[in-house]
A and B are shown apart, each in its own frame.
Chain A
């Protein structure tokens, strides 16, 4: 049972344009969401997070939007740069003290120069 889903395995975007990566979740107990970026042969690195008390969080070129009613979140990268080419994972957790983070399958983003 995949509780966190990233339905697009890959995405190609022109440099300078917007990249939109999507993530859906099924467990209504999740109230904290994170995005991670992974380059080949490296571990995932934290990018940005959002709690369920917000519907938007911004950090430079990266913005995460949360739609709780739809159980959907998205990561926007504007403008996209070739160095953003990587696999992006969405993760979900609860703040109730389980300390568990459940990941999606990832979306491979390719930014074309």
Chain B
């Protein structure tokens, strides 16, 4: 089945130690997104790629970076994780059309813990 796959499901890192989360998709979608979700909060959009065009949200900290080397893969790099970065990180994709039938397809998420 076509899907969005996130690895790993759980990631533990140390305060200040760089960490990379990965996402792959078999849907051949144009747009890939990274959301951060903390407990009982709304998933917060960090950035998205339309193909290779990177779109950063204004309030996304500089500590968060992303790479999309090809259509299938997208990475989230946290350069110096702080305790406040512990969260669920959700990758999603969409076709990138502007019609009314667009929707996001999510991976299962990576739960990041910072010690």
B contact residues vs A (CB 8 Å cutoff): 4, 6, 9, 31, 33, 35, 40-45, 48, 50, 55, 90, 92, 94, 96, 98-109
Q: Are A100 and B45 in contact (CB-based, < 8 A)?
A: yes
Assuming the contacts A43-B90, A43-B107, asked whether A96 and B98 have C-beta atoms less than 8 A apart, the reply is yes
Assuming the contacts A43-B106, A43-B109, A45-B106, asked whether A103 and B100 have C-beta atoms less than 8 A apart, the reply is no
CB contacts (< 8 Å) of B40 on chain A: these are 9, 105-106
CB contacts (< 8 Å) of B103 on chain A: these are 34, 46, 49
Answer yes or no: A102 CB below 8 A from chain B CBs.
Answer: yes
Answer yes or no: A41 CB below 8 A from chain B CBs.
Answer: yes
Residue of B whose beta carbon sits closest to that of A32: B100
Residue of A whose beta carbon sits closest to that of B35: A103
